[in-house]
A and B are shown apart, each in its own frame.
Chain A
Amino acid sequence: MAARMSPYKLRKRAFVVFTHASLIVLSFVIAFPILFALIKSTQTPAQVFSYPPKFSIGPGAAENYSVAWREYNLGRLMLNTTVVAFAVTIGKTLLSLLAALALVYFDFPFKGLIFVFILVTLMMPIPVRIVPLFDLVRKLGWGNSFWALTIPFLASATGTFLFRQHFMSIPASLVDAARVDGVGPMRFLWQILVPMSMNTVGALAVIEFVYIWNQYLWPLIIISSNKNQMIQIGLKMLTGAGPQGMVNWGVAMAGTVITMLPPLIIFILLQEQFMRGFALAEEK
């Protein structure tokens, strides 16, 4: 049966094979730098610097990861970053849920203007306000602290926008039913709206967690002690030349793997929500 395929079917079969082959090759090419980092993080310094490069797993993994974790203090930085990333992600989600609730389910003066006020902050990435922000946060006494890394990031125009858009697509009859049943706005939010918005919640969690975890410029300038530092700056220390002027690349790659793992796990777990709640929402 397979031997007597029509030319059309044959062409189609060939195309499927071609698609699989190119997707496998492309996935490999995209992953190659990370696979290389993974392999190198297990090699001893001699293997790392061997030429031609060795592409096999070496015996240095335990040593490299423990040096990165302890001597370069990545363990502590991971803890700091985890606390900050969760605090900001949760805080932003809560604040934007509340803001969207107010904007969709209430009437009050200047509503449109207030929404625009929040939305316009999308045009204010850190670099356009960095010097005054640095000055302000230090005057508040928050320099080198947890507060500097969290409070200024709690408002989310993206979150408010996504939740508002999603709430507006939910049938209005739901509010009427809730009001008839005597359900107040806060219970309405937690028991009805939030469960219906899990795609948006998941998408926002990915966006914000990845954004905060990967922040670099702000912690670099506002955090001055290694004890309070964020993980991305720890990476910078790993590639800064050591006392002998040589970078220990096995350790640096181990540190890189440690640094990228948490946001990667969150992204892979929530990528379906990310796709539905953000990328496809953006398309509407």
Chain B
Amino acid sequence: MRSKFPNRWLPLVILLPTLAVCALFLYYPVAQSFSWSLYRAAFMGLKRLYVGTQNYVRLFTSPDYVHTIGVSFLFAGGVVFLGLSVSLAIALLANQKVRGARIYRVSLIWPYALSPAVAGTIWLFLLNPTSGVVNYFFETLFGVKPDWLTSGRLALLSVTVAAVWKNLGYNIVFFLAGLQNVPGEILEAARVDGAGAWRTFWKITFPLLSPTTFFLFIMNIIYAFFGVFGLIDVMTKGGPVNATNILIYNLYRDAFQHNKWGMAAAQSVILFVFVVILTLIQFRTTGRRVHYGG
């Protein structure tokens, strides 16, 4: 039994600021999202009409919203698959005991500190159809100059690549931490038994790393759903023709450009349910917590 300080009131006093902020600025607005989602703004926002579940019905029967859900999952799938495979490969190399390993590590993980808007701005310029460097390479190598941001599919690919690049640092940090926990003796034993590097990786390292991989899988989905607003706003504004209009961007437009607060609140609730499901899966599988960066 851990010994404690005897005070009765002090712990509650020092917990109060945290609890007050949580209650007022987190729980209360989330609860309000639920209740507002049952209303519709009318008379230019001056009055609210109770509409029951109509906002949800309209969302799920609207081809545009269904398209937005599809785009979000495609984007998240790309971010997860590309992001995890590339950063795992890099982390495996950076985990080798070579000279200057610490310097390499910093030079691989620093994009963690970049903002999605910074990543978006730089990639907007790299992909510029006339003076961008990406098209210079493409023209030199393949003789084509694709319209990266004005064709729908390429635009989705472009924001995916930019989002993956920005998140590489985060993924590599956690893969490196995970790799440090893989016991060296097991790897050594496998080598002595004549297992090749490829087999050792798939039979030993990868399974031992699976908690990290799963944690990053969830975190990258969260990042793709919630963390890339700035990147989308700077690069495509959800366009062309909604091709990169992910759920959070659609929510922002309905709330603050079209003033459809009821519809926006319903979309918030849908996103909340999604987060809760992801968190429960994470909790059930690994018993570890998810950090959303707040």
Question: CB within 8 Å of B: which residues of A?
Answer: 16, 19-20, 22-23, 26-27, 30-31, 33-34, 36-37, 40, 48-53, 95-96, 98-99, 101-108, 114, 117-119, 121-136, 151-158, 160-161, 172, 175-176, 179, 184-185, 188, 207, 210-211, 213-214, 216-217, 220-221, 232, 235-236, 238-239, 249, 252-253, 255-256, 259-260, 263-264, 266-268, 271, 274-275, 279-280, 282-283
Contacts and interface: CB of A to CB of B under 8 A. Distances in A.
A106 B32 contact: no
A153 B279 CA distance: 21
B240 to A, nearest CB: 16
Interface size class of B (residues with CB under 8 A): 35 or more
Nearest to A184: B5
Contact of A155 (B10, B22, B93): B22
A132 B7 contact: no
Given A27-B108, A210-B112, A239-B124, A156 B294 contact: yes
Q: Is the interface of B mostly helix, strand, loop or mixed?
A: helix
B209 to A, nearest CB: 10
A34 B264 contact: no
B94 to A, nearest CB: 6
A98 B15 contact: yes
B126 interface: yes
Interface stretch (B57-65, B76-84, B150-158, B174-182): B174-182
A213 B115 contact: yes
A136 B96 contact: no
Interface in B180-221: 180-181, 211-212, 215
A117 B19 contact: yes
Between B26, B107, B233, B289, the greatest number of chain A beta carbons within 10 A of the residue's beta carbon is seen for B26
Given A127-B251, A221-B256, A249-B131, A132 B33 contact: yes
B12 interface: yes
29 contacts: A16-B98, A27-B108, A30-B108, A33-B123, A36-B122, A50-B131, A102-B15, A106-B5, A114-B19, A118-B19, A119-B289, A122-B294, A123-B279, A129-B268, A131-B255, A132-B32, A154-B17, A155-B21, A172-B3, A175-B3, A214-B115, A217-B229, A239-B124, A249-B125, A256-B118, A268-B113, A271-B106, A275-B177, A283-B180
B126 A36 contact: yes
Contact of A95 (B18, B122, B230): B18
A210 to B, nearest CB: 5
Given A30-B111, A271-B106, A102 B25 contact: no
Contacts of B43: none
Contacts of A128: 30, 33, 268-269, 271-272, 275
Given A53-B133, A114-B15, A236 B234 contact: yes
Between B94, B121, B215, the greatest number of chain A beta carbons within 10 A of the residue's beta carbon is seen for B121
Contact of B174 (A102, A132, A279): A279
Given A23-B104, A128-B30, A279-B174, A267 B113 contact: yes
Nearest to A115: B15
B229 A214 contact: no
Contacts of B233: 216, 220, 236
Given A40-B125, A124-B26, A132-B265, 5 more contacts: A50-B131, A132-B36, A155-B19, A210-B112, A275-B177
B90 to A, nearest CB: 6
Contacts of A263: 113-115
Contacts of B132: 53
Nearest to B35: A132
Interface string B6-24: 0110111011011101101
B69 interface: no
A31 B109 CA distance: 10
B79 to A, nearest CB: 16
Contacts of A264: 110, 113-114
A2 B55 CA distance: 75
A274 B112 CA distance: 11
B88 interface: no
